[in-house]
């Protein structure tokens, strides 16, 4: 079976088009007959009646073919039958309208095109040959039966053979052209069908993907009105998509506009946590993210918002923090007891020796030495408790916009006075750097870090202080920053580096542990206290060190703008 007529649904559609075209041609032939019959020769009443009968048969066959088409299974044979009947009808029209003088000879050309559409090359040339034979038959019968011309005879005296050859050549040319067009039409149709199928698959995949997401997903136009709402978004908010499409995003997720759609410095993708009350009045915590939704031409077409119910995560985080605090408290108590035991033992031993020698003659210098030991250990206990309280209960911070360069210069002036010879100090702090910090606590942080750097230079060296603005968020964040956006926030990074002995990797991992120290006179609370202060300011503290090459301490604090 030929190509088009054997391809199921495409072939059926082609037959529908052929039927519609036949109906249009029959109507056109009827209009021509109605307009021109009567202007021809007299005495052609019988031919006129036969012509109208042929046209009526054309209408009847068209109706029958159209009614039978939905029930036909063998479309190829059905199409071939229609081509044969069309050739017969046109041949009858040509015969009864005067043969060589008929206006209807051109109707063989559409039949040839039908054949090309239905069967491509075989159909085109088969239809052309069949139409040529029909036209020759119409010419012969009209000439020998004396059928009168109904339209005035446009070609009087033209040889029938020449007329038949001209029509045959025209039909073959139409068959050639129709074959090429039908082939291109078939290829284009197949490609279009393939593209449509791929598009349907892609659309179905998109719908299944969006419907299967475990996160709520909504999209809006540029004005913030909702254009889509996935099933998980319905579950989280308790609202159906049909009820919220077209509403402003603030009416569905209050606070989402400020997080997602507000302009941001740095252009990062915003992320935030927000409190949300669903339609049942239950309070939830949502993790929210979003960005620009691109249009087909690459421009801004709206906004996309992705959100998750993180209520259980927030609850687990709070429980984890409580567990961490309890564990830290136990560890601190054990370390504190260990640190207190040594000075208490020294004080107890000194007092015991003094009591044993009471009332006995002895060396006054020995008693004085024992009293000095007891007083020194009491002072050591006082410093230890003071450091512990500073770590456990740091003073309440009062952050304010603070120019960094003057603060660093003041600390370096005081610190340089206590530095031994051979230690060089340099600084590079831009004048436009400002931080949001408590002035007194910032100076305490700088002093403690500088003191650690100095202790790493027993043989002298250099301490460098520098600062710069950064836009990426710190890797460690305090509790104050857990529920705010981490993207696009500006920080000032203060780097204090030295060229000292460096820190071994196994020691570097423990430098922020309370009471851990490698110094004989150290309490092990200096860096942990610094870390606690920086964390309470919403910043971060990190160390980089290589044994024998030096150490760099990086303190990041929120940036501030200071008016000139």
DSSP letter (8 states) at residue 481: G
Taking the C-alpha atoms of residue 26 and residue 55, their distance in angstroms, rounded to an integer, is 7
State whether 535 and 423 are in the same domain.
Answer: yes
State whether 192 and 168 are in the same domain.
Answer: yes
Q: By residue range, what is the domain housing residue 277?
A: 213-309
Residue 485 has pLDDT above 50, yes or no: no
The whole-number pLDDT of residue 24 equals 81
Q: What is the CATH classification number for the domain harbouring 422?
A: 3.30.565.10
The whole-number pLDDT of residue 245 equals 92
207 within some domain: no
State whether 293 and 427 are in the same domain.
Answer: no
State whether 296 and 440 are in the same domain.
Answer: no
State whether 428 and 515 are in the same domain.
Answer: yes
203 within some domain: no
Average pLDDT, whole number, for the chain? Answer: 77
Residue 353 has pLDDT above 80, yes or no: no
The mean per-residue pLDDT over the stretch 378-389 comes to: 66
201 within some domain: no
Per the structure, the count of domains in the chain is 4
- Range with the poorest average pLDDT among 8-17, 161-170, 429-438, 499-508: 8-17
Strands in 300-309's sheet, in edge-to-edge order, are 226-229, 216-220, 300-309, 283-294, 271-277
State whether 450 and 536 are in the same domain.
Answer: yes
Q: Which has the closest alpha carbon to 490: 268, 288, 266?
A: 266
204 within some domain: no
What is the separation of C-alpha 307 from the centre of its chain, rounded to a whole number of angstroms? 13
The whole-number pLDDT of residue 487 equals 45
- Range with the poorest average pLDDT among 122-126, 202-206, 242-246, 362-366: 362-366
Residues ≥6 apart with Cβ < 8 Å to 118: 2, 4, 5, 11, 14, 15, 18, 79, 83
Q: Burial-class residue 263 by CB neighbours within 10 Å (0-12, 13-18, 19+).
A: exposed
The mean per-residue pLDDT over the stretch 196-204 comes to: 85
Residue 271: which H helix or E strand, with range? strand 271-277
State whether 299 and 359 are in the same domain.
Answer: no
Q: Which has the closest alpha carbon to 186: 123, 107, 110, 130?
A: 123
Q: What is the CATH classification number for the domain harbouring 368?
A: 1.10.287.130
Please indicate whether residue 90 or residue 42 has the higher confidence score (pLDDT).
90
Taking the C-alpha atoms of residue 302 and residue 304, their distance in angstroms, rounded to an integer, is 7
Neighbours of 491 (CB within 10 A): 22
202 within some domain: no
The whole-number pLDDT of residue 40 equals 47
The whole-number pLDDT of residue 202 equals 85
Q: Which has the closest alpha carbon to 285: 217, 233, 224, 236?
A: 236
The mean per-residue pLDDT over the stretch 81-99 comes to: 80
Residues ≥6 apart with Cβ < 8 Å to 43: 148
Q: Which of 392, 414, 444 is the C-terminal boundary of a domain?
A: 392
State whether 16 and 111 are in the same domain.
Answer: yes
324 within some domain: yes
DSSP letter (8 states) at residue 248: B
What percent of the residues of the chain are helix, what percent strand, and what percent coil, each to the nearest 5? 55, 15, 25
- Range with the poorest average pLDDT among 390-399, 447-456, 548-557: 390-399
206 within some domain: no
Tokens of 498: 């030295």
Q: What's the sign of the alpha-carbon dihedral 234, 239, 242, 244?
A: negative
- Range with the poorest average pLDDT among 74-83, 146-155, 169-178: 146-155
The mean per-residue pLDDT over the stretch 460-480 comes to: 68
Q: Which of 365, 392, 419 is the C-terminal boundary of a domain?
A: 392
State whether 551 and 416 are in the same domain.
Answer: yes
The mean per-residue pLDDT over the stretch 49-68 comes to: 80
237 within some domain: yes
The whole-number pLDDT of residue 150 equals 54
The whole-number pLDDT of residue 85 equals 84
Contact assessment for residue 96 and residue 54, using Cβ atoms and an 8 Å cutoff? yes
Taking the C-alpha atoms of residue 469 and residue 108, their distance in angstroms, rounded to an integer, is 84
Q: Burial-class residue 319 by CB neighbours within 10 Å (0-12, 13-18, 19+).
A: exposed
Q: What is the CATH classification number for the domain harbouring 241?
A: 3.30.450.20
- Tally DSSP H helices, then E strands, for the chain: 15, 12
The mean per-residue pLDDT over the stretch 367-376 comes to: 72
State whether 422 and 323 are in the same domain.
Answer: no
State whether 109 and 186 are in the same domain.
Answer: yes
User: Which regions of 296-343 does DSSP assign to beta strands (E)?
Assistant: 300-309
Q: Dump the DSSP string for 400-466.
A: EEEEHHHHHHHHHHHHHHTPPTTEEEEEE--TT-EEEE-HHHHHHHHHHHHHHHHHT-TT-EEEEEE
Rounded (10°) CA dihedral 235, 238, 242, 248: -110
Taking the C-alpha atoms of residue 227 and residue 41, their distance in angstroms, rounded to an integer, is 72
Q: Which has the closest alpha carbon to 430: 403, 457, 411?
A: 403
Residue 514 has pLDDT above 70, yes or no: no
State whether 342 and 409 are in the same domain.
Answer: no
Q: Which of 292, 309, 326 is the C-terminal boundary of a domain?
A: 309
Q: Which has the closest alpha carbon to 438: 563, 561, 557?
A: 557
């Amino acid at each position: 079976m030929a190509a088009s007529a054997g391809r199921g649904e495409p072939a059926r559609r082609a037959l529908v088009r052929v039927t519609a075209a036949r109906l249009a041609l029959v109507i056109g032939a009827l209009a021509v007959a109605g307009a021109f019959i009567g202007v021809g020769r007299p005495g052609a009443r019988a031919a006129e009646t036969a012509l109208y009968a042929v046209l009526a048969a054309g209408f009847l066959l068209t109706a029958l073919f159209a009614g039978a088409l939905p029930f036909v299974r063998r479309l190829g044979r059905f199409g071939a039958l229609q081509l044969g009947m069309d050739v017969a009808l046109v041949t009858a029209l040509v015969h009864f309208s005067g043969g060589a003088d008929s206006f209807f000879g051109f109707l063989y050309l559409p039949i040839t095109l039908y054949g090309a559409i239905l069967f491509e090359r075989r159909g085109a040339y088969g239809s052309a040959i069949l139409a040529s034979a029909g036209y020759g038959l119409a010419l012969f019968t009209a000439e020998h039966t004396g059928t009168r011309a109904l339209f005035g005879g446009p070609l009087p005296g033209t040889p029938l053979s020449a007329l038949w050859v001209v029509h045959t050549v025209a039909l073959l040319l139409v068959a050639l052209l129709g074959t090429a067009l039908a082939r291109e039409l078939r290829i284009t149709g197949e490609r279009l069908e393939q593209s449509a199928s791929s598009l349907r698959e892609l659309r179905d995949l998109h719908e299944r993907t969006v419907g299967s997401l475990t996160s709520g997903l909504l999209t809006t136009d540029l004005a913030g009105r909702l254009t889509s709402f996935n099933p998980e978004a319905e579950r989280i908010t308790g609202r159906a998509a049909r009820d919220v499409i077209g509403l402003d995003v603030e009416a569905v997720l209050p606070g989402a506009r400020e997080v997602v759609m507000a302009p941001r410095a740095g252009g990062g993708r915003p992320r935030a946590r927000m409190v949300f009350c669903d339609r049942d009045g239950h309070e939830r915590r949502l993790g929210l993210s979003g960005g620009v939704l691109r249009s087909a031409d690459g421009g801004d077409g709206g906004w996309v918002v992705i959100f998750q119910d993180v209520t259980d995560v927030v609850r687990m985080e709070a429980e984890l923090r409580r567990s961490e605090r309890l564990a830290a408290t136990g560890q601190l108590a054990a370390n504190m007891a260990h640190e207190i035991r040594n000075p208490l033992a020294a004080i107890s031993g000194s007092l015991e020796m003094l009591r044993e020698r009471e009332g006995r003659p002895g060396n006054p210098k020995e008693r004085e030495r024992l009293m000095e030991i007891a007083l020194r250990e009491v002072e050591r206990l006082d410093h230890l408790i003071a450091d512990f309280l500073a770590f456990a209960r740091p003073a309440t911070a009062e952050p304010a916009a603070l120019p960094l360069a003057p603060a660093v210069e003041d600390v370096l002036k005081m610190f340089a006075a206590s530095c031994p010879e051979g230690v060089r100090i340099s600084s590079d702090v831009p004048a436009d750097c400002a931080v949001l910090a408590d002035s007194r606590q910032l100076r305490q942080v700088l002093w403690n870090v500088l003191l650690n750097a100095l202790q790493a230079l027993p043989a002298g060296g250099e301490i460098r202080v520098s600062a710069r603005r950064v836009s990426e968020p710190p890797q460690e964040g305090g509790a104050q920053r857990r529920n705010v956006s981490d993207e696009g926030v500006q920080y000032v990074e203060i780097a204090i580096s030295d060229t000292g002995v460096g820190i071994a990797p196994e020691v570097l991992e423990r430098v922020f542990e309370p009471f851990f120290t490698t110094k004989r006179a150290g309490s092990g609370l200096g860096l942990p206290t610094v870390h606690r202060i920086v964390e309470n300011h919403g910043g971060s503290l990190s160390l980089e060190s290589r044994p024998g090459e030096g150490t760099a301490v990086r303190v990041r604090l929120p940036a501030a703008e200071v008016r000139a």
